Amino acid sequence: MAHHIVIPIIIILVLVIVLIATGYISDPIIDIPSFAIVGFLTYRIFYVIIKTRKRNLYSYTGKIGKAVEDIPKGKEGYILIEGEYWRAIAEEPITSGDEVIVVGMQDLKLIVRKNKNNEVII
């Protein structure tokens, strides 16, 4: 599984050889390491962009938080998860200070229920 490392190295080497052969590189001792560093950094930037593109930053299902206010069943209220206040819809009556677990998401509202027995949803 080293193809993600080998391919950029081959591309950099071919580019350097072409630049030396055509005369665009006048001092290979300075230019070759510069191209290698710039090529590697460019590769890492694109690698991180591609890997993070698939990630859902708002995936709160299974996370545990605390109710900020009383939330009747089927109504909206506020909860605190990872230092952020979220509007939540309760599946069951929740009182202020109860530990809640997120079971889903509807628009930008979290669907929550009481966290019984310290359960975690994955």
Q: How far is it, in rounded angstroms, from Cα 117 to Cα 8?
A: 50
**pLDDT of 106-120, one tens digit each?**
888 999 999 887 666
CATH number attached to the domain at 64-114 = 2.40.50.140
pLDDT band at 70 (very low <50, low <70, confident <90, very high): very high
Question: Residue 72 has what DSSP assignment?
Answer: -
3-22 and 28-53 are packed helices; what angle lies between their axes, rounded to 10 degrees?
Answer: 150
- In the chain, domain spans: 3-53, 64-114
**pLDDT of 6-32, one tens digit each?**
777 777 778 778 877 787 767 777 777
* Pairing of β 84-90 and β 109-114: parallel
pTM of the model: 0.52
Q: What's the sign of the alpha-carbon dihedral 58, 90, 62, 99?
A: positive
